Amino acid sequence: MTSSPSSPPSVVLLSGGLDSVTVLAVAAAQGQRVHALSFDYGQRHVVELASAARQAQRFGAVAHETIDLSHLGRLVAPATALVEASTLVVPKGEAPASNIPITYVPARNTLFLSYALAWAETIGARDIWIGVNALDYSGYPDCRPEFITAFERTANLATRVGVEAAQGTTGIVIRTPLLDLHKHEIVALGLSHGIDYADTVSCYDPGGDVNEGPLACGRCDSCGLRKTGFARAGVEDPTRYVVAPPAG
């Protein structure tokens, strides 16, 4: 199914990672006129944005905006290891943290959804798609279903579209097709939509160079979840790693 001028517009938060690219494919398959939205916030894995651009094109997004949030990276650098400006180190080869890990970025999804909301209201979209997942995830509080529910409520109180919805029209809906899926189910879903996962970036701290493309570290929490996902899905992991993944 492809979108047409009469298809409903929607906003898709697109990092360029495995989850958000899967969401992009699902939204496109439903015939939505996808407006993809990415952010450069000084993340260590900024190479994901090149994948985001290629995937947006591949799945027929009618628009793709990449917002410069480099100031956010500077503002939150003392509190997260995930941005280049931070002196904190991305944990590798450790058991996943039982608490919120140091790669958590303060208020990141709240901010991303707020931008998506501004754009959605401007273009007349009702649906905002986001690839949060509450099963095989890093433990970030802003990936939990209760956060999504609260944000959706806030969005409808914050906006003209929300006020009009209270009078009977459709309000803002946060679409989370991955929320209750395990990583291997996400992989299977994406493969059914023809995703080339080799061109997605999950690693929090990739190496590699511009010409060769990114090399995943294979040892951070995100690489761990991704590896397990491919293994349990029973498909070959197309990711290029700095170190070879453990056998099995």
- Of 6, 87, 160, 248, which lies in the binding site for a copy of itself, with binding defined by CB under 8 A? 160
Look up residue 203 and give its two tokens: 């690693």
Helix (H) or strand (E) holding 109: helix 108-123
- Of 16, 162, 177, 214, which lies in the binding site for a copy of itself, with binding defined by CB under 8 A? 162
Of the candidates 170, 130, 136, the one whose C-alpha atom is nearest the C-alpha of residue 148 is: 130
DSSP one-letter string for 4-38: -TTSPEEEEE--SSHHHHHHHHHHHHTT-EEEEEE
- Of 88, 97, 118, 135, which lies in the binding site for a copy of itself, with binding defined by CB under 8 A? 118
Site string for a copy of itself, 53-72 (x = CB under 8 A): ------------x-xx--xx
Q: CB-based contacts of 134: which residues, under 8 Å, 6+ apart?
A: 143, 144, 145, 179, 180
Q: For residue 53, with 0-12 CB atoms within 10 Å meaning exposed, 13-18 middle and 19 or more buried, which class applies?
A: middle
Q: Does 108 bind a copy of itself (CB under 8 A)?
A: yes
Angle subtended by helix axes 183-192 and 18-29, to nearest 10? 40
Q: Which amino acid is at 4?
A: S
Of the candidates 81, 79, 83, the one whose C-alpha atom is nearest the C-alpha of residue 92 is: 81
Q: Which is nearer to a copy of itself, 146 or 236 (CB)?
A: 146
Q: Does 114 bind a copy of itself (CB under 8 A)?
A: yes
- Alpha-carbon distances, residue 104 vs 3, 91, 125, 137, 139 (angstroms): 35, 12, 29, 12, 8
Give me the least distance between CB of 124 and a copy of itself, in Å please: 9
Segment contacting a copy of itself (CB under 8 A): 98-106, 197-205, 231-239, 240-248? 98-106
Q: Does 137 bind a copy of itself (CB under 8 A)?
A: no
Q: Does 107 bind a copy of itself (CB under 8 A)?
A: yes
Q: Which is nearer to a copy of itself, 162 or 206 (CB)?
A: 162
Q: In this structure, how many other beta carbons lie within 10 angstroms of the beta carbon of residue 214?
A: 24
Contact set for a copy of itself, span 2-61 (CB under 8 A): none
- Of 12, 18, 34, 117, which lies in the binding site for a copy of itself, with binding defined by CB under 8 A? 117
Q: Does 111 bind a copy of itself (CB under 8 A)?
A: yes
Segment contacting a copy of itself (CB under 8 A): 18-26, 76-84, 196-204, 215-223? 76-84
Distance (Å, rounded) from C-alpha 103 to C-alpha 77?
A: 11
Residues within the interface to a copy of itself (CB under 8 A):
65, 67-68, 71-72, 75-76, 78-79, 100, 104-111, 114-115, 117-119, 121-123, 141-142, 144, 146-147, 150-151, 153-155, 157-160, 162-163
